[in-house]
Amino acid sequence: MSDANSDLMTLVAGIFCVLIFASVVGYILQQRLSPNGSNSAVENLNARIKAWWVMVILIGIAFTAGRIGVLILFSFCSFAALREFVTLINTRKADHWALAAAFFLVVPIQYCLLWAEQYGIFSIFIPVYAFLLMPIISVLRGDTERFLVRIAEVQWALMICVFCASHVPALLTLNIPGYEGRNVLLIAFLVIVVQLSDVLQYVWGKLFGRTKIAPRLSPSKTVEGFGGGVISATLIGAGLWWITPFTPLQAGILAFVITLMGFFGGLVMSAIKRDRGVKDWGNLIEGHGGLIDRLDSVVFSAPIFFHLTRYWWSL
């Protein structure tokens, strides 16, 4: 077994141990505090644990399938997230062709460019070509009512759901000396650290949270939860240096950066939801809301993590 496969199996085993422990804790809490399903906090916790089992298994299958599996998984995520985003924005009949191009032209091309490892065009395809294409298609329909708002919202949807999200599998294209064949572990590092930061911010906030950090955007987020979660996730990231090309200090610094970006990404997406008057982006994942509710922190941190790694470590 290669070193990459050995490290991946060790990591997966650790994740499954954590999930098994969480499931046992959830079962005990349910038996003691919510035998009839009356405790919403316990029921929500168990729903989240079940959802994590499903998501971890799906990601594990994608990793097992290799590069093509990861690309298929994230292209599906981009498509589904874009669908969730579009349901909340201002669109008119004149935008239908532009939206069709976004779903059936932009998404496939972005991931095909990734498959071909064409970094030069991949990095500018959406923010240049797609951003110019969207208003051209819409304007040809002749409807100018709220035109700027409509186009800006479609462009922002592409930026978040496709461009930013595609930087997760883009980590597979990096050529890092001495790290050949192990890039999938970079994806694992990114997702684990950012998602654990979200979970730990929630836990620290529930245990010690007193001071609201952004009451108008996300009332559940507290200064104490933010600090405890970010510090904890940074230490965990430093401890995971062995699956990366980084030293423990470098892994800790990158973990700190991506957890900060994940936190602010969550705030930005919360602001959009508040603007639209909704609690969740959707109901695709039981206990977690929509797909964007799970991807918001990852999509904001992925481009930063990708470019920092590419600039400092890749050839």
pLDDT score recorded for residue 105: 96
Within the chain, how many helices (H) and strands (E) appear? 12, 0
- Listed as own residue / partner, the contacts of 212-221 with beta carbons closer than 8 Å and 24 or more positions apart are 214/267, 214/270, 216/274, 217/267, 217/270, 217/271, 217/274, 218/266, 218/267, 218/270, 221/266, 221/267
Q: Determine the Cα–Cα distance for residues 147 and 301; give it in Å rounded to an integer.
A: 30
Q: Determine the Cα–Cα distance for residues 155 and 273; give it in Å rounded to an integer.
A: 17
pLDDT score recorded for residue 1: 46
Q: Determine the Cα–Cα distance for residues 105 and 189; give it in Å rounded to an integer.
A: 30
* Plot region of 285 (φ>0 → left; ψ -120 to 50 → alpha; else → beta): beta
Encode the chain (315 residues) as per-residue pLDDT tens digits: 466 677 777 877 888 888 898 888 888 878 887 777 777 667 767 777 777 787 788 888 887 878 899 999 999 999 999 998 998 888 888 899 999 999 999 999 999 999 999 999 999 999 999 999 999 999 998 888 999 999 999 999 999 999 999 999 999 999 999 998 899 899 999 999 998 898 888 888 878 888 888 887 777 788 999 999 999 999 999 999 999 999 999 999 999 999 999 999 989 988 888 888 777 766 665 555 677 777 888 999 999 999 999 999 997
Tell me which DSSP letter residue 125 carries: I
Q: Determine the Cα–Cα distance for residues 100 and 104; give it in Å rounded to an integer.
A: 6
0.75 cut: is pTM over it? yes
pLDDT score recorded for residue 54: 78
Place of tokens 């906030």: 205
Q: Determine the Cα–Cα distance for residues 81 and 265; give it in Å rounded to an integer.
A: 15
